[in-house]
Amino acid sequence: MLETKITDVKTFKVKGPLTHNGVTPFWEERLVRPVDIYPEHKAVGPQEVTKVSPSQVEVSATWLEIETEAGATGVARPISPLIAFICRKILKPVLIGQDPMAVERIWDQLYRTQVHGRKCDTMIAISAVDCALWDIIGKLRNEPVYRLLGGPVKERIRAYASCLGWSLKPELVVKRAQMYVDQGFTAMKWFFRHGASDGVKGEEENLLLAKTLRDAVGYDIDIMLDCWMSWSVNYTVKMARKLERYEPTWIEEPVMGDMIDEMAEITRRVNIPVSGAEHEYTRWGFMQMIKKKALDIFQPDVTWAGGISETKKICTLASTAGIPVIPHSGNAPISQHIWFSQNVDVVPLAEYLVKWNPWSQAHDKEFLAPVKGYIYPTKKAGLGIELDEDKVTEKTYDT
């Protein structure tokens, strides 16, 4: 094995077009948010995007790049400008001169030096660094990362269409739900727009979404419903009783991420499986979930919860408690290395955010997407992510 050291940590911004149908807005609707209890926030609509042509929207993204003496460069993307700043200004001094193969050592040093960053933005930055280091290792060994983690343990993984961004008008829900069934998906997730503070009208619209979905796809298709931390214990229990007739596979993140006792109470009281922890971090955060029996399904995000190294540990912890892990993922090229290094009992299903994944892969050479409802792993070395300069109209390095 070639010995090498980290020589530089850079971030750069790119812009380039993403082809879009041009008939409807790219983002038609958004999900409910905890801050929507305030009317001025509830009134905010879906994210706006810049059109560069009738059939294209502009995508801006920031990438992390870690360079080595051997010439192998690890990348992770997309990251926010704040995460880029943390990587470049705060984590870089710990990384320079290190052996990129020593991912456990580096992760531990980053964690121990950032004692005030155990969650949120600093941990997301550590996650990006960890993923980029695995990219380097895979390139040095000329293997996809999932093979270095012991995979592949399965040849393909069933994916569910995660439908954030589509309109919730019933006639359009029917159209899009049937479209994904026709594409071969056997499962899909939709996102509520109303929370506990929205009264009877909001409750009716949430129930209408579930009914519309079940009427559109029948009972042979799994449907999942995301509350995005915007419900309460009593509201969730009340809604779950009314949702039971539609047989959702799970309800997701009913309360705020730090309300572990409340999650446990909901999980204990409702007859629908409860998923969550998309906004939880590290093995220690998930250990608390296990101790409290807070959730039926764990959903760490590989690019937030501590990277590939830490998500692998979370999977091991979850397996000891018999809790399936279905990672949150708008970043399929990175998530695939967890999907394909864990068996079907531990990671039985892959989330494919149908709008976020094309957005996050807008500038990639290789596009990872489901084929007839299944995702197949990359054969490329490392993470399988490579910038396609032909898709980029502007590229600038940060200072």
CA distance 77 to 95: 18
Looking at the predicted structure, is the pLDDT value of residue 2 above 80? no
Burial of 192 (0-12, 13-18, 19+ CB in 10 A): buried
Q: How many CB atoms lie within 10 A of CB 114?
A: 17
CA–CA–CA angle 64, 66, 72 (5° rounding): 125
Looking at the predicted structure, is the pLDDT value of residue 187 above 90? yes
Distances (CA, A) of 226 to 164, 178, 229, 248, 254: 10, 19, 9, 11, 8
Average pLDDT over residues 115-121: 93
Contacts of 44-52 with CB under 8 Å at 24 or more apart are: 46/165, 49/25, 51/22, 52/17
Amino acid at 364: D
CA distance 329 to 324: 15
Summarize pLDDT for 347-356 with one digit per residue, the tens. 999 999 999 9
Confidence of residue 24 (pLDDT cuts 50, 70, 90): confident
CA distance 248 to 250: 5
Model pTM? 0.97
Looking at the predicted structure, is the pLDDT value of residue 104 above 80? yes
Structure tokens at 350: 């892959």
Structural contact between residues 344 and 154, judged by C-beta atoms closer than 8 angstroms:
yes
Please provide the DSSP assignment of 299-354 as one string. Answer: --BTTTTTHHHHHHHHHHHHHHTT--B--B-S-HHHHHHHHTTS-TTTS--EEEET
Average pLDDT over residues 43-47: 96
Summarize pLDDT for 228-283 with one digit per residue, the tens. 999 999 999 999 999 999 999 999 999 999 999 999 999 999 999 999 999 999 99
Find tokens 């293997």 and name the residue.
143
Helix (H, G, I), strand (E, B) or coil at 382: strand
Among residues 284, 342, 275, the alpha carbon closest in space to that of 308 is found at: 342
Bridge partners, 62 (sequence order):
13, 79
- Residue 21's pLDDT is 81
Mean pLDDT over the full length of the chain: 97
For 364: left if phi > 0, alpha if psi spans -120 to 50, otherwise beta; the answer is beta
CA distance 90 to 93: 7
CA distance 248 to 258: 24
Helix (H, G, I), strand (E, B) or coil at 233: helix
Confidence of residue 1 (pLDDT cuts 50, 70, 90): low
Beta strand 51-53 pairing with 56-68 = antiparallel
Structural contact between residues 68 and 6, judged by C-beta atoms closer than 8 angstroms:
yes
Rounded-to-10 torsion of CA 361, 363, 364, 365: 140
Element (H, E) at 261: helix 260-269
Q: Which domains does the chain have, with CATH numbers?
A: 147-387 (3.20.20.120)
Distances (CA, A) of 41 to 45, 46, 197, 259, 324: 9, 11, 13, 22, 34
